[in-house]
Each structure stands twice: as structure tokens, then as C-alpha cells.
């Protein structure tokens, strides 16, 4: 049975196709086709690509349970959308006549997160922790996951917390308080936190939190905090204190999860799992860590399909989206880098998830003091934000001190301390950390490029940032890359 997984209707809609043999045939984001950042709706281009493998879709799996979500929205004063009470109603609107004979199912929001993580992980048994903003009612869940003798994934719910007590809503409220866009720019709040003092995290806790161990808030943060919340503090101090508080509360959840003694393997999912600064502490609680490269709601298109499939999936890498065919242009990129210092690449299958991992990337020589300003002139983002390095995995220990529990970081999911920050100022944050991507010997295009760059220069690392026009989603196809070239005067190789 070939299964199409859909997540849509809130933010960052996505589609995934899983074949009857457990292969992930496609996984991609609606925004890359509509060019609307965080597009909540499925579109024709996405579905067309998702099913462009001559696969008949037998079943459509939806990432949450509509009537439960409507009930929660009614409870929180958002009203009920009567035309979205059932999966069939939603899929009818979203898919507009595609797959009329396919059966359909809906799955719990947090179980979709859990399945997307566990069934792509290398583990036979794992403790699964899901932390997000809000789905139906659950906001934090802990699961014991394993495969039975027939290889079917089994999930036992060990603990949960529900709306309005939500770590994701807390961080989004802080994001709004410091002048950024909630549900979009939480990663900038995280970057800003390095510039402030986290000294006020205990005060913040006493104002907001009723029980830090049960993760109970004293107020509903769904609509944010007041404009004068922690008045008198700078935005940087608020961000730093909130980040520290978030990390302590995540620590409480992880300690609880560990104490169930289900497994020393952690699978971590939900939008909060994108907080790579907090993730550096996960090794304090678990021996092994797996975070799927798209752990937020978009990843639950894969999660819903995985749950419906029911067994382990064949996971290889995050290159699962639209394909720009052709061999990875290694020699031309190396020449371009030696010539101008900055090049774009749009080749192969687009990354599933928010990070550019080498197939839709803007790449630069990370050495020297000037490169950060040069890349920033193109990206035009806040000057305080550093760029990320991508490095041959076997060399990571020479340049970075990886945190406990993280021997690699293939999807940029943790930060590590840079050992030579003065040599690489463009890829090091003010707190001396870098959000490193390590590349194993997997034969990928970015691996071949790093090997050639290393042979040519002795440097095993490049600066890597997403290839996107300001305000737009990542480049998807060659015409997007052409527009990027025209606007910024940077060659994009395919």
C-alpha cells in the first residue's frame, strides 16, 4: 500500500509519500512551490511532485485529528470551523479531487510526531519525547516505543501535559515580546539570547510557572505576554533568560523521561526540538539521540504516513524533495569559491526540513574576517547572527568540541564550541558556539565537494547558509535559482 501523508492547515504544510516497501519516496514543503513562506495549504505543484513516481496512492494519512483540534480551538475561544470537523472534509478541500478511491485516516498530532521520529531512527526501542506549541490538546508527551515480533511499531504513552501548559507557546510568546514574529522567528530569539544575561530566568519562572516539574504555567500564553512583561530588561536579557528557563524546563521533562527507564535511546520530536542550543544538553539524560531533520509539524506529514505504514522506514538522508537532475558540480563550485569566495548550489533533491544541507545552499570560504559581511550583504539578516559551518565528519573533533551524546550533527541539530574562533569568525557566535553540520562518507554531493575543497585548500569546512531570496522560502527549482542569480549577482551552480 502506497501512503500519502499530509500535514496542513496551521503552518508549513507538507506532503510525504511512503511506498509499500517502506521507502520514503518523497517529502517536501508546500512553501517551496507556492513561494509563500510557511504556507499552510497544500498546492497542486507539491502533490504533483509527491506522486510523480508512477505510484498509485492507496491511502491518505492526515497528521492530526480534526474534531479534537476543533474542540480545543473552541475551548480557547477561536471558534469552530464546521467544514473542518472530519479528515474527509479537510482532505476534500486540500486535495481537490485527487485520489478519489484512496482510503484515509487521521492520527493523533503527537503520535504522528512520535512515529516520524521513531520509525526513521536506527533504534529497535526508544524513549520518545515530543515537545511542541500546540496541536490538538497535547503539548508534551513521553512515549515508550518498540517493534513487536512482526516488526510493527508500538507506542505506550508514559506521560503527558496538555494545553494551555506549553513550552512552545511560552517561547513563541517571548519571541513576540522581543519584537519578532511568533511561530516563525523563534530561531532568531535563540540567536539573540547569546547577547543577553540569563540572570533573570528564576524571576521569569516565578512570574509564569506554577509547577516547573509538571510544566504547569500560571497563565495561558497562547495570546502572548503583555508588552510590559519583564519591563526594564533589554530584549537580549529577556531572550537569554527565557532560553535558560526553557532549557531548565526541558531538562525536567528529559529527567522524567529517563526515569521511566524504558531506554537509553532518545527520539526527540516537535517544534521545540529545533532549538539547537537547548539540544546540546540532551546527552546529560540519554546515551543516544535521534532527531529527525524535520521534527516540527511539516515532518508530521512523514509521521502520519509512517504511523499508517506501521513499520520501520528505510531512512537514508534528508534529500527527499524536488529534484534538479545532474551530477553535483564539484569542480565548478571549487573554482567559483577560489575565484569569488561565495557561490550558490541548487542540485539534486531538496532538503526536507528547515535547514539547507548542501543541495540548496549558499556556500563560502569560512576563513578570514571579511566573509561574514560579504555573505550578509546578500542575506541581509541581523548582523549579530552567525552562519553555520559544514565539515567533513572525521575532522569535526579538530575544530569543534561536540557536546556529550553528540558524536556527529548531520542535520545541524546542536551547537558545539569552536576551538579556533579567531580563525573562523563568520561561523562562530558571540558565545563561541557553532551550529555545525557534519558530513559522513556517504557519497553525497556535499561530501564530494568538501573532499575536493579540503584537497585544494587544506580546510575541511565551508560556510553553509540557505539559498533563498530574502523573505522567500528556500530555492526549489532552477527558475528560483535563476532569480536568485539575477537579484544578487551570485552564480548558482546546478
Residues that bind Fe ion (CB under 5 A): 132, 135, 297
CA 124 from centroid of its chain's CA atoms: 23
Cα–Cα distance measured from residue 225 to residue 241, given in angstroms and rounded to the nearest whole number: 15
Task: State which residue, 43 or 166, has the beta carbon closest to Fe ion.
Answer: 166
DSSP strands (E only) in 375-427:
388-392, 400-401, 416-418
Compute φ and ψ for 228, nearest 5 degrees: -100, 15
Burial of residue 351, with CB atoms counted within 10 A of its CB: 0-12 exposed, 13-18 middle, 19 or more buried: buried
Q: How far is the CB of 438 from Fe ion (least distance, A)?
A: 27
Q: Which lies closer to Fe ion via its Cβ, residue 133 or residue 345?
A: 133
| Smallest separation (angstroms) from Fe ion to the CB of 135 | 5
| CB closer to Fe ion, 182 vs 344 | 182
Give min distance, CB of 285 to Fe ion, in A: 21
Would you say 5 or 386 has its CB closer to Fe ion?
5
Q: Which residue is nearest to Fe ion (CB)?
A: 132
Per the CB < 8 A criterion, the answer to whether 87 and 62 are in contact is yes
Q: How far is the CB of 308 from Fe ion (least distance, A)?
A: 18
| Nearer to Fe ion among residue 132 and residue 237 (C-beta) | 132
Identity of the residue, 132 or 365, whose beta carbon is nearer to Fe ion in the bound complex: 132
- Reduce the secondary structure of 91-130 to three states and give it as a string: HHHHHCCCCCCCEEEECCHHHHHHHHHHCCCCCCEEEEEE
User: Smallest Cα–Cα separation from 120: which of 97, 153, 95?
Assistant: 153
Least distance (Å) between residue 295 CB and Fe ion: 9
| 156 bridge partner residues | 144
Tell the smallest beta-carbon distance from residue 171 to Fe ion (Å). 13
Whole-angstrom distance, CA of residue 370 vs CA of residue 384: 14
Alpha helices in 298-417 (DSSP H): 300-309, 330-340, 371-379, 396-399
| Shortest spacing between CB 249 and Fe ion, in angstroms | 17
Q: How far is the CB of 141 from Fe ion (least distance, A)?
A: 10
For 51, phi and psi rounded to 5 degrees? -110, 20
If the CB atoms of residues 31 and 132 are measured against Fe ion, the closer one turns out to be 132
Distance CA 456, CA 463 (A): 16
Q: Compare residues 296 and 336 and give the one whose CB is closer to Fe ion.
A: 296
SS3 8: coil
In the bound complex, what is the minimum distance in angstroms from residue 32's beta carbon to Fe ion? 20
Exposed, middle or buried by CB within 10 Å (0-12, 13-18, 19+), for 197?
A: middle
Q: Give the whole-angstrom CA distance, residue 330 versus residue 387.
A: 22
Q: Please provide residue 112's backbone torsions phi and psi, each rounded to the nearest 5 degrees.
A: -65, -45
Closest contact distance (angstroms) between CB of 292 and Fe ion is 13
Cell (9 digits) for 243: 532560553
**Beta carbon nearer to Fe ion, 51 or 140:** 140
Nearer to Fe ion among residue 9 and residue 336 (C-beta): 9
Amino acid at each position: 500500500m502506497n501512503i500519502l501523508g499530509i500535514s496542513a492547515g496551521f503552518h508549513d504544510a507538507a506532503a510525504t509519500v511512503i511506498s509499500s516497501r517502506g521507502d520514503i519516496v518523497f517529502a517536501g514543503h508546500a512553501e517551496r512551490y507556492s513561494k509563500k513562506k510557511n504556507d499552510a495549504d497544500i498546492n497542486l505543484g507539491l502533490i504533483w511532485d509527491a506522486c510523480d513516481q508512477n505510484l498509485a496512492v492507496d491511502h491518505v494519512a492526515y497528521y492530526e485529528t480534526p474534531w479534537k483540534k476543533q474542540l480545543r480551538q473552541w475551548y480557547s475561544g477561536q471558534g469552530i470551523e464546521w467544514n473542518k470537523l472530519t479528515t474527509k472534509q479537510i482532505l476534500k478541500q486540500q486535495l481537490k479531487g485527487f485520489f478519489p478511491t484512496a482510503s484515509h485516516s487521521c492520527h493523533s498530532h503527537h503520535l504522528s510526531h512520535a512515529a516520524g521520529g521513531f520509525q526513521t531512527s536506527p533504534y529497535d526501542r526508544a524513549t520518545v519525547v515530543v515537545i511542541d506549541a500546540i496541536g490538538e490538546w497535547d503539548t508534551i508527551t513521553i512515549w515508550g516505543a518498540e517493534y513487536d515480533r512482526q516488526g510493527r511499531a508500538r507506542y505506550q504513552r508514559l506521560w503527558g501535559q496538555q494545553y494551555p501548559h506549553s513550552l512552545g507557546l511560552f517561547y513563541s510568546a517571548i519571541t513576540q515580546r522581543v519584537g519578532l514574529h511568533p511561530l516563525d522567528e523563534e530561531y532568531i530569539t535563540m540567536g539573540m539570547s547569546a547577547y543577553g544575561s540569563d540572570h533573570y530566568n528564576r524571576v521569569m519562572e516565578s512570574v509564569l510557572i506554577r509547577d516547573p516539574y509538571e510544566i504547569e504555567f500560571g497563565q495561558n500564553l497562547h495570546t502572548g505576554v503583555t508588552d510590559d512583561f519583564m519591563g526594564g530588561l533589554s530584549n537580549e536579557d529577556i531572550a537569554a533568560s527565557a532560553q535558560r528557563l526553557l532549557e531548565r524546563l526541558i531538562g525536567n521533562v528529559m529527567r522524567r523521561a529517563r526515569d521511566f527507564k524504558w531506554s537509553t535511546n532518545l527520539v526527540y520530536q516537535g517544534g521545540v526540538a529545533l532549538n539547537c542550543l537547548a539540544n546540546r544538553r540532551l546527552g546529560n539524560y540519554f546515551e543516544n539521540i535521534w532527531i529527525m531533520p524535520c521534527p516540527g509539524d511539516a515532518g508530521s506529514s512523514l509521521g502520519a504516513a509512517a504511523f499508517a505504514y506501521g513499520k520501520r522506514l528505510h531512512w537514508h538522508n534528508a534529500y527527499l524533495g524536488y529534484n534538479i537532475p545532474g551530477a553535483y558540480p564539484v569542480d565548478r563550485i571549487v573554482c567559483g569559491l577560489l575565484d569569488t569566495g561565495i557561490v550558490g548550489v541548487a542540485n539534486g533533491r531538496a532538503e526536507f526540513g528547515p535547514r539547507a544541507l548542501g543541495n540548496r545552499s549558499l556556500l563560502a570560504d569560512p576563513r578570514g574576517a571579511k566573509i561574514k559581511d560579504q555573505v550578509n550583504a546578500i542575506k541581509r539578516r541581523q548582523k549579530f547572527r552567525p552562519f553555520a559551518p559544514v565539515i567533513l565528519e572525521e575532522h569535526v573533533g579538530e575544530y569543534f568540541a561536540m557536546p556529550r551524546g553528540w558524536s556527529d550533527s548531520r542535520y545541524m541539530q546542536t551547537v558545539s564550541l569552536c576551538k579556533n574562533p579567531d580563525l573562523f569568525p563568520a561561523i562562530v557566535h558571540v558565545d563561541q558556539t557553532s551550529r555545525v553540520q557534519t558530513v559522513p562518507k556517504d557519497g553525497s554531493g556535499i561530501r564530494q565537494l568538501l573532499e575536493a575543497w579540503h584537497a585544494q585548500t587544506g580546510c575541511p569546512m565551508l560556510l553553509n547558509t540557505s539559498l533563498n531570496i530574502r523573505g522567500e522560502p528556500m530555492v526549489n527549482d532552477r527558475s528560483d535559482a535563476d532569480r536568485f542569480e539575477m537579484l544578487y549577482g551570485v552564480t548558482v551552480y546546478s
